[in-house]
A and B are shown apart, each in its own frame.
Chain A
Amino acid sequence: MALLEMHEWYDLTRATNWTPAYVDEEALFPPALSDPFGIAVEQWETFDEPYKVSYRDYVETQRDKDIGAYSVKSALARADFFKKASPHWKALLALHFSPIGFAEFHSASAFARMTRFSRAPGMRNMATFGTLDEMRHGQIQMYFAYEFIKHDRVFDWAHKSSKTENWIIISLRHALDDIEHTRDAISAAIMTNFAFEQGFTNLQFIGLSADAAKAGDHTFATMLQSIQTDEARHAQIGTPLISIMIENGRKAEAQRLVDVGFWRIWKQFSALSGISMDYYTPLEFREHSLKEFMHEWVVDQFARNIKALGLDLPWYWDYFLHDIETFHHSQQIGVYIYRATEWWRPIACVSPAERDWLEEKYPGWNDTYGKCWDVVIDNIRQGRFERTVPEVPPLICNMCGLEVTGVAGTGRQVNGRRWNATDFHLDHEGRRYHFCSEPCKWVFELEPARYQGHRSIIDRVLDGTVPPGPDGFYEYMGQSFEERGVCGYDYQWIDGYDPPRAAAAE
């Protein structure tokens, strides 16, 4: 018997809204979980999937994708790529695999909630596939990281990280809890599918795949792009939702969801992709700088979609364009000097040649961030290793959970040094909250009740949640002695600053 073509039966099978007989509509779709905007169900039923797939077709395609990615992995496993990889690439792989595997399961759970609670049947279809996609992403990355454990225990953190109170994980979890888990299905979808996935995932999963291909890590490059082929499909859930919101007089709400979601996720990618692309990728394999990739994928490709849908660019756009060129450079300094608080082996990546590259991509780098590194380099050359680690803990943003930083050498002079780190703070109900930026503070002010109960890692030190003593902090963060980061090059990266010594050794 001939099968009907998909387009001949699709609309009929999508009509899965019916009148419930045993409970009322509101019990089945509580507004707080389904639609706090009060948009009529007939309007949600106009949701037409821009990217249509049948279940049979989905399963076949996904099977082929997995066969492709896993066969590249097993074909190359014997090449022992990892053993021969430089500390640069090992740090990059650790930084990717350790937080991301479980972040994918966060998304699976968010998609499952959209599948259950959305009143739009078409959205429920797409979200069903999205749930399965994100389970695949969690599993494939966990499995690919697992192969490395026999060489390097750092990769244990692909699984372990999400259960710890490590400060980086707190930062990531706060962002994902905010946009994926504590909103109704529509808001979570606009923030997750549109702002997060359509906005940023291309950066790490396609941009970085170009670096990986150049570095000869074809297993990683193939895996990244294979994952992203799912994102390209399910990230489309957000666009019809935004159109329906606008058509029903909810443009301001849609705009706010995009503005908040975009900012929250930008901070995460700034640190993750920024450090990966501009520092951890070995110089000779860098396809583009973070700034260039950001312009390609976000400032051009994504911003056009925001406007084409009838929304405006977020109000902080100019600040964001400045942040693209600055934030991750200061975070990289923080990640290196506070290395013991991270589970991998951070590296500095500021050899003379790497500095030339940074100066070319970010004119002025040497006069700003470079000045900070000069101090670190000087201390290492004098053998004062203890001075490369600050004694005081950093100020942590109460929103993004990352370090409050600024651009060195450009701001107000304090104690003979210039540093324009500005603490945007807010006094609310008897306590002071610190923020790294105006947008992080703005997000808090929109809904203080949502955010005020969160305690940053520094709050937890001050209020006694973190046990005292030299090991208390690390143990609280789940890091045994062996799981505290040390310089991935054992300080030898500064040899390049000592031409006479290098020449004498030859």
Chain B
Amino acid sequence: MTTEGDAGNLVGPVMRAGEIADAVLEAIREDNEGREVVTEAHASYIRIKVADECVLRYETVGDMLGRTVTRGDIESNMPSFAGFIRTEPDGIRFVAR
């Protein structure tokens, strides 16, 4: 069982289970190279977590799916996230503060 904060500073999106979630996971692995990407699957959603900062780029997600992916495509499939969010022109950055 967790006590407050013992998940360290893991941050990142919570995605609705499905093909966008799978592509987001692959993209995050690529865009956060050299850093551990932790996943936690639940029946309807998946948590994707990276320590301190997690970068998600729309173009990389699009490469995984072979089609253009927009901010809206991510938002529609992202019911929550851990940490704080910063939307940027080409993607989303999740930060611990």
Give A contacts to B, CB under 8 Å. Answer: 5-7, 50-53, 57, 60-61, 64-65, 68, 202, 205-206, 209-214, 221, 225-226, 228-229, 231-233, 236, 239, 287, 292, 295-297, 299-301, 303-305, 307-309, 313, 317
Contact = CB atoms under 8 A, between A and B. Distances in A.
Contact of B77 (A53, A229, A239): A229
Choose among B44, B45, B72, B84 the residue with the greatest number of A CB atoms under 10 Å from its CB. B44
B79 A61 contact: no
Interface string B63-97: 00000001110011111111111111100000011
A313 B3 CA distance: 12
Contact of B2 (A64, A232, A300, A307): A300
Interface of B (DSSP majority class): loop
A299 B6 CA distance: 10
Interface of B: 1-7, 9, 14, 16-17, 42-45, 70-72, 75-89, 96-97
Given A308-B84, A308-B96, A209 B3 contact: no
27 contacts: A50-B84, A51-B85, A61-B76, A64-B76, A68-B76, A202-B80, A205-B79, A206-B79, A206-B80, A211-B43, A212-B44, A213-B17, A226-B76, A229-B75, A236-B84, A295-B2, A299-B2, A300-B5, A301-B7, A301-B82, A303-B5, A304-B9, A307-B5, A308-B96, A309-B97, A313-B4, A317-B4
Contact of A229 (B4, B6, B43, B79): B79
Contact of A225 (B1, B71, B79): B79
A292 B2 CA distance: 9
A229 B97 contact: no
B89 A61 contact: no
A299 B78 contact: no
Nearest to B14: A206
Given A202-B79, A225-B79, A308-B84, A300 B89 contact: no
Greatest chain A CB density within 10 A among B5, B6, B79 is at: B79
B7 A221 contact: no
Nearest to B8: A304
A40 to B, nearest CB: 25
Nearest to A232: B80
Nearest to A233: B75
A221 B17 CA distance: 11
Contacts of B77: 229
B4 A303 contact: yes
